[in-house]
Amino acid sequence: MSIPLSRRVIPPVVPASGDNVDRILRLVARLVSVGYVAYLALLMPSIASESARMAPWWTPPTVIAVFGLGVLPGVLSFRSDVRLMRAGAATAALAFLLAAAVWPYAWEGPDLAAGDAFWLASFPGLASLAAIIAWPIWAAFLYMVVSCTSVMAITAAARGGSSFGMLLTDIAFATMFCTLFVGGAAMAIRTGRLLDSTTAMSHQAAGSASAQHARRVESERFDALVHDNVLASLLAASRDQPTTVVGPLAQSTLAELDALHSPPPLHPMFSTDEAITHLRSAAADADDRATFDVHHVEGSALEKLPADGVRAVGSALSEALRNSRLHAGSNACRTVTVELSGALLTVDVVDNGDGFDPKAVAPNRLGIAVSIVGRMRRLTDGFADVQSSPGSGTRVHLEWPIP
């Protein structure tokens, strides 16, 4: 029988990346929209006074387009799809450049005073923040340079050319001033991308580690199954053990192999009675003549026990009984004592057989090391101890503090 381990391992689920970047872009979009509303309120006197110097067809549609579309990214930031928000931001950024591009055709004069600036020159940085929402960072910085150059040239032209000598200085100052805000937004976006990347890598590493752990646990489970059931049955048959020994072992082995095709149990918890029943069944499957005693169950405060832990204890209990049947001698008697008190489950498997020296057991003999001690150690705070000496019988003590 060949059963791939990967069939039972659930692939890790890696959350979709980009959540932090999207969150930052939404915040920037809302900031941009609030900024457009604030600038509209502040610039209304300038817009009204300078509209007399423009062609009648320019100011109303320009104000509606520039400021109306500037509010759009913040409104769309509440939608689940950020693509709509980015499209709205791109539209707002392009509207600002379009207004600057059409300005020369609508300017009628007279010239502005030397200290005045045309109202479009007041917020190229805000339009650049809209651009950084819509496009890559490098494209947003290029947009910022173009928009600052455009509005500074418009202001110089509106002054009648009196400040053309300072145009490069004005462009440099405006660009550096806007860089403070656009650069801050760029760093925030870059930090969000690094956080998204780190989060995705962390989830991937955790998923990989979880899958590796699941494969290791599954491999150990198959190793224990092969040792506890298949090899034990073959060893008993090869030593001409009576059918009363070989038969139950073979039946138990077939049942375990058939269970591999069954879906995992639906209930992760056992009641106290179900846990005792499972341990009693595990003992009976390994040796139906063993005495099974239960103590202090009624006084226990536990109502539910993790099913996986109870099954692990039951498997260790079964292996201890199988080892005793194979090695303790034909006249040995076996007793299983289960004690459940407080939050502690203890099981003692005792026989009065031939006994052995635990220190003399070869390392390649996996019955005790893997199927009993190793299985209990995989439980949280699980413990197993094997006490034996030649001619004095064997005692296997299993202990599990129930979480």
Q: What is the pLDDT of residues 324-373, one digit of tens each?
A: 888 888 788 899 999 888 788 899 999 998 888 877 776 556 667 777 88
CB 148 within 8 A of CB 175: yes
Q: Flag whether pLDDT at 65 surpasses 80.
A: yes
Q: Flag whether pLDDT at 253 surpasses 80.
A: no
> CA dihedral in degrees (168, 170, 173, 174; nearest 10)?
-110
- Owner of token pair 């320009």: 62
Q: Which pLDDT does position 91 carry in this prediction? A: 95
pLDDT > 90: percent of the chain:
34
Question: Which pair of tokens denotes residue 139?
Answer: 């494209």
Q: Which pLDDT does position 15 carry in this prediction? A: 42
CATH architecture of the domain formed by 263-401: 2-Layer Sandwich (3.30)
CA angle 265, 271, 273 (to 5 degrees): 110
Q: Which pLDDT does position 298 carry in this prediction? A: 57
Kindly list the domain boundaries of the chain, sorted by start residue: 19-201, 263-401
Query: What single-letter DSSP state applies at residue 371?
Result: I
Q: Where would I find the H helices in 260-330?
A: 272-286, 307-327
Question: Which pair of tokens denotes residue 207?
Answer: 């998923």
Question: Can you say whether the dihedral through the CA atoms of 309, 313, 316, 322 is positive or negative?
Answer: negative
The tens digit of pLDDT for each residue in 186-241 reads 998 888 888 888 877 776 776 676 567 556 656 666 666 665 556 666 666 666 66
CB 354 within 8 A of CB 390: yes
Q: Flag whether pLDDT at 1 surpasses 90.
A: no
Residue type, 105: Y
What backbone phi and psi angles, to 5 degrees, belong to 149?
A: -60, -40
Global pTM?
0.53
Q: Which pLDDT does position 105 carry in this prediction? A: 92
Q: How far apart are CA 346 and CA 344, in angstroms?
A: 6
The tens digit of pLDDT for each residue in 104-137 reads 999 988 888 877 889 999 999 999 999 999 999 9
pLDDT > 70: percent of the chain:
76
